[in-house]
Chain A
Amino acid sequence: MSTATAAPGGRRGSDHRVLVVWCPDWPVTAASVEAGVPERAPAAVVHANLVQACNGPARAEGVRRGMRRRDAQARCPDLAVLPASPDRDERAFEDVLGTIEEVGPGVAPLRPGLVALRAPGRYYGGEEQAAAILAERLVGRGVWDNRAGIADELFTAEHAARRSGVQESTVIPRGGSVEFLRALPVEVLDDPDTVGLLKRLGLRSLGDLARLRRHEVRDRFGAHAAWVHQVVGGDGAVHLTARTPPPELARHVDFEPPLESAETIVFSLRRTVEAFVAGVAAHGLVCTELLVEARCEGQHPDDVPASSRAWLHPRFFTAADVVDRVRWQLQGDFRSGEVGAPVDRVRLVPLGVVPDATHADALWGGTDEQVAHGLARVQGMVGHDGVVVPVLQGGRSPADRQAWVPWGERPRDLRPPGLPWPGSLPAPAPTRVLRPPQPAQVLGAGRRTLDVDERGVLSGEPTHVRPGPGEAWQPVAAWAGPWPVEELWWEEAPRRVARFQVVGVDGRAWLLVLDDGTWWTEAAYD
């Protein structure tokens, strides 16, 4: 490592200049595009009821990072609240990386929203021109808010980008880093404790920090401040590790003339599918998550495909598996009318790939592998959604507390079971959950149908019960309730129900629910 600390002009920087592109509030941009929120509408990404990121219009209304959701909505009632999803941010940023790679190779993504590359110098007629071309390309991809900074090293370039206007660039001339950095306030350290301490000590800019000695900074303010001190001192070159562009594995096939039956499409697709699987295998990979898209005749290439679905496989997709998935998807979509016109293109995109060694067959063939094969056969008989895995989730009624996930798919959008669900029933849970509930009848003394008044009081003691239309009447041996549950009370038409546990004299038990004067059997305990 060189010790040419105060050498203004940084000899090292003369080789490679660094260009940093910053897309502010990237999580909000990515989420807005996915949710279809308009460009200039206030939006915020919220996680665990706290604002994680917000965009300019929202900030103008007073929304800030770390604010509670309801406070943010109070300040800005038309705020679009979007869920946080790091996966989505990265996936959306992948597009931006691809665009930047077209301009200059050697792109190093730092995190979603921030990317560095070796500044393309003379090819575009200068650094500013190169940044302008990048900005233009990114705007063409729909990324309006992008800012660039060019400097001798990464830290300076990033902060130069943060000080640029929308679609503009800030170029720090060769050797100008130190001067630029010295003027920056200490807030750029992005560590509230250290910043607070430095300010109390009267150090307001990085220039003030740079006047301290290196070991003093390291001992008192930690490693990060020491590193910044080193950069301000003119020694902050960081080697950029450029990413390798992912290989192009997606395949598509065009049909001329367009086809309108799932069977003929699947038949014409076989060779493409084999080439697709072989193409993935040529990189030593196997595909575990697959996106199948079908475009209808007359659709514009940029339109959302008429049929698009992501499939997961418990192991990995072989050619036969891919063919099955395409058939299931197209048969379903033709039947439901989602694909209303003949199909002229089918595209296969591997969303998830893993090295093939991960899934190499065990010497004797694993048991789970046999199970997966057998269940795939059953799926062939009863349909993809016919074989399911039971999953528990949070909810109030027994039917809400479980979900069935098709075999081979990852559960999505489950309610967390760990949270308290007021109104849910204590264990033991009912063994039979009736979907839909059966109409039931409950009579009190004098053979009167029972009801609950506004104050939640039952009009009499239940004496006889008939849990379903096909069942016999029988006397009630024991019962408890009503347990009122008010569901969706924040909606226009809240549902107010009362639950009862009833045991008949034959020893069977039921969970009955009284909904607006009508009795239903929701679940049974036998």
Chain B
Amino acid sequence: MFDHLGVSTTPGVAAPDLQQLRERMRRLERPTPGVELAQAPSVRALPALRGGTSVEVGDLGLAMALLAGPTAAGEWCAVVGTPDFGAEAAAGLGVDLARVVLVPEPGEHWLEVVAALVDVVPLVLLRPPSAVPDGTAARVAARLRRRDAVLLLHDEPGRWPRCEVRLRATRSSWSGLGPGHGRLRSRDLEVQVREGARPPRTVLLRLAGAAADLGPRVEPTPASPRVDPVWRAG
């Protein structure tokens, strides 16, 4: 640490070092630093998961895709309250199952379980069994900030009171299946991203089944409704 400071005062310092130091200064000035977790290529269009935040995810497949990056980078993650977690689908979306721990039925003490997990695991995916009061959510948020962990909430939109980022699947369309023939192959997902007070934006993603055939990512577009006659029917 001191070595670096020493280097910065010497003249003729290399440009990358200067960049790094500026970045560090910027981080010091920011109120919540938060380490960004790794991201899988399929969800790179979404905002990165930053330590100390809660993220609401409306779709389990999307949540699994978000777990893929960190577990592949060697981080542990815990999944709480999802007895129907499809392990094969998670593996297909790129999650390293050797780094995943499940607490399928945490029971009435689910909040304590989450708190204990946040202490040791940087990423927790939770499906809350019930709504929580604002104060409880604030306490969880404080714990997340102290531990620099991320809480992913697979929940109904807007039920968890404090979320820095809310991801909602506004439209999903499957390809590969027709009337009476074919099979499900990949899914195009339109995700509405709400980050703090910023206006919502829409991101298009393609989630494929096996990690090997991850399709090319569809570039993010501004929130404009795409005309798709099939989906008009509903």
Contacts and interface: CB of A to CB of B under 8 A. Distances in A.
Q: Do A and B come from one complex?
A: yes
A428 B184 CA distance: 7
A94 B75 CA distance: 41
A187 B92 CA distance: 53
Contacts of B144: none
Interface in A464-522: 474-475, 477-480, 501, 503-509
B97 interface: yes
A477 B185 CA distance: 15
A407 B185 CA distance: 33
B23 interface: no
A391 interface: yes
Interface string A19-59: 00000000000000000000000000000000000000000
Contacts of A426: 183, 209
A474 B234 contact: yes
A88 interface: no
A431 B89 contact: yes
Contacts of A387: 101-103
A403 to B, nearest CB: 8
A478 B101 contact: no
B210 to A, nearest CB: 4
A252 interface: no
Say whether chain B's binding surface is mostly helix, strand, loop, or mixed.
mixed
A386 B103 contact: yes
B179 A478 contact: yes
B13 interface: no
A431 B60 contact: yes
B120 A371 contact: yes
Contacts of B178: 478, 480
Given A374-B116, A378-B117, A428-B209, A433 B85 contact: yes
Contact of B120 (A373, A404, A480): A373
Interface in B142-186: 169, 171-174, 177-186
A427 B113 CA distance: 33
Contacts of A375: 101, 117, 120
B161 to A, nearest CB: 24
Given A382-B103, A427-B92, A474-B234, A526 B87 contact: no
A478 B231 contact: no
B91 interface: yes
A480 B103 contact: no
A461 interface: yes
B182 A429 contact: no
Nearest to B75: A367
B83 A390 contact: no
A428 B103 contact: no
A434 B171 CA distance: 23
Contact of B102 (A404, A430, A505): A404
B88 A398 contact: yes
A12 interface: no
Contacts of A374: 116-117, 119-121
B97 A392 contact: yes
B209 A435 contact: no
B102 A526 contact: no
A389 interface: yes
A478 B174 contact: yes
B233 interface: yes
Contacts of B120: 370-371, 373-375
B173 A507 contact: yes
A477 B230 contact: yes
B209 A429 contact: yes
A423 to B, nearest CB: 14
A111 interface: no
B187 interface: yes
B95 to A, nearest CB: 9
B106 A427 contact: no
Given A371-B120, A435-B84, A525-B187, A390 B102 contact: yes
Nearest to A370: B120
Contacts of A461: 179-180
A170 B179 CA distance: 79
Interface in B13-33: none
B228 to A, nearest CB: 10
Most chain A CB atoms below 10 A, which of B60, B116, B186: B116
A370 B119 CA distance: 9
Contacts of B179: 461, 478-479
A386 B112 CA distance: 14
A388 interface: yes
Contacts of A480: 177-178, 180-183
B51 to A, nearest CB: 15
A503 B106 contact: no
A11 interface: no
Nearest to B103: A387
Closest 4 CB pairs of A and B: A428-B209, A374-B120, A505-B234, A427-B209
13 contacts: A374-B120, A374-B121, A378-B103, A378-B113, A378-B117, A381-B116, A427-B210, A428-B185, A428-B208, A433-B86, A475-B234, A503-B174, A508-B172
